[in-house]
Amino acid sequence: MNVLIPDALLSYTQNLRTQAGGATLGAMLDDLERQYPGIRFRMIDEQERVRRHIRIFVNGEQVDNLAHAMKLHDDVAIVQALSGG
């Protein structure tokens, strides 16, 4: 899968785009963790939920279920929400 990485996580990947694999979204994130140790915790909390400030899109559709089935050629965009006042 092609994975778009947000600027805030570039310290892990050093690239805006990377590749990862897995049968589910959770498995794909586990593969990212294997390649870039520490990155998964920045996206997934201790209750195994996508963090509030992170959005994950698969082929343009927002997905927050880690059991979501993935396909080999899916495009994944990880987006960090901005906040402020």
Going along the chain from its start, the domains and CATH numbers come out as: 2-80 (3.10.20.30)
Along the 85 residues of the chain, how does pLDDT read in single tens digits? 999 999 999 999 999 999 999 999 999 999 999 999 999 999 999 999 999 999 999 999 999 999 999 999 999 999 998 765 5
How many alpha carbons lie under 13 Å from residue 23 in its C-beta half-sphere?
A: 0
How many alpha carbons lie under 13 Å from residue 4 in its C-beta half-sphere?
A: 15
